[in-house]
Amino acid sequence: VRTRGFRSVETASGTARSLVEDLAGRSGVPEPLVWLSGEDVSTDLATELRQAGKDCRRVIVYANRVATPTKDDLVAALDPPPDAILIQSAKAARLLSAAAVRIGADLGRTALVSLSPRIDAHVEESQLGGTGVCRRVAATPDDTGLLAELERLGQNRTGER
């Protein structure tokens, strides 16, 4: 990124909340900040940063659209039920729940691995797989954390089925 002209490049892991807290607690943060985001977000970083006293502007650079899979596509994906489903957003949890109901899929033996506790709360609320379903949450809310949780799940399930 520095080769593209950026003078300061930092990476962070954690949640939007931890990013707001980190930036709000720093002095000398270059302002204004510009947050490039999708249309649908779980946390409005720009608003949160402004409330914390930082000048931040939001620019929506993409929008997700809901796909409408055919019943055959859903059956192919969910019947027989997969060993695990990775869930990266609350919207995905709600749509998966609707899809499972639509085709009568039984996800009771499918591990549902969520990107964050907030997403897992949506999984629990939707009652995906019923009350005894195996729900897991990534240790860090990123693809690395999600895949690490999937790997831990695989190690724990060796020989179960």
Distance from the Cα of residue 160 to its chain's centroid: 27
Over residues 92-133, the pLDDT tens digits come to 998 899 899 889 888 888 999 999 998 999 999 888 877 778
Percent of the chain with pLDDT over 90: 34
Task: Give the confidence band of 7 by pLDDT, cuts at 50, 70, 90.
Answer: confident
pLDDT given at position 67? 85
Residue carrying the six token digits 């709000």: 24
Out of 11-25, 70-84, 99-113, pick the least confident.
Answer: 11-25
Q: Which of 14-18, 97-101, 152-156 has the highest mean pLDDT?
A: 97-101
The 3-class secondary structure across the chain, one letter per residue, is CHHHCCCCCCCCCCCHHHHHHHHHCCCCCCCCEEEEEECCCCCCHHHHHHHCCCCEEEEEEECCCCCCCCHHHHHHHHCCCCCEEEECCHHHHHHHHHHHHHHCCCCCCCEEEECCHHHHHHHHHHCCCCCCCCEEECCCCCHHHHHHHHHHHHHHHCCCC
If you average pLDDT over every residue of the chain, what do you get?
A: 86
pLDDT given at position 113? 95
Q: Is the pLDDT of residue 1 over 70?
A: no
Integer Cα distance of 83 and 10 in angstroms: 37
Average pLDDT over residues 138-159: 85
Average pLDDT over residues 34-54: 90
**Using an 8 Å Cβ cutoff, are 111 and 84 in contact?**
yes
Distance from the Cα of residue 51 to its chain's centroid: 24
Q: CA separation (Å) from 121 to 36, 125, 152? A: 26, 6, 21
The closest alpha carbon to 116, from 21, 10, 14, belongs to 14
Average pLDDT over residues 55-66: 91
